[in-house]
Amino acid sequence: MAYEGIHKAKKGLIRVRLSLDPNKIIKNIEISGDFFLYPEDALWIIEKHLVGKKAEKNELLAEIKKIYLKHNIETPFLNPEDFVKAILNAVRKYEEDTCNIL
């Protein structure tokens, strides 16, 4: 099951759709939206890199920052923190859902 999270950054709206395993490890993730990211194709590198990572604030932030550095990513008026917020908004939906089942 895929869960969606939205976050409005200073520039751009980030939409995340993800699926998690029971240990909150990311199985699939798509990041879309109307932001600007340079070099553009690094977005798909971020997505790929996050698969297999735990959907937890500090780990996500560290991993995204790592990719920013490695690929010289620039996102005017938007930070790695904004991506994390959008992801965590999707994770919250997942948690609400699993709580309801339990």
Partner 1 sequence: MRKIRAIFYEKPEDAYYNLAVEEAIPRALSLGYGKPTIRFFRNENAVIIGYFQYAEREVNLREAELLKVQVVRRFTGGGAVYHDLGNLNYAISLPFTKIIPTDIVEYYRFFLKPIVNALKSLGATNASLGGLNDLNIETRKVGGTAASRKWGVAFFHGTLLINTNLETMARLLTPPLEKLKDKGATRIRERVVNLSEILGSIKIEEVVDAIIREFEKTFEAQIEWKDDLTEKELSLAEKLYAYKYTNKEWNYRRKPSSFFDKTIFG
Q: Give the binding site for partner 1 (CB under 8 A).
A: 6, 8, 11, 13, 15, 30-41, 43-44, 74, 76-77
* Closer CB to partner 1, 25 or 51, in the complex: 51
* Closer CB to partner 1, 13 or 61, in the complex: 13
* Centroid of chain to Cα 54: 11
> What is the spatial distance between Cα 85 and Cα 14, in angstroms, rounded to a whole number?
9
> What is the spatial distance between Cα 72 and Cα 66, in angstroms, rounded to a whole number?
10
We find the least distance from the C-beta atom of residue 9 to partner 1, in angstroms, to be 10
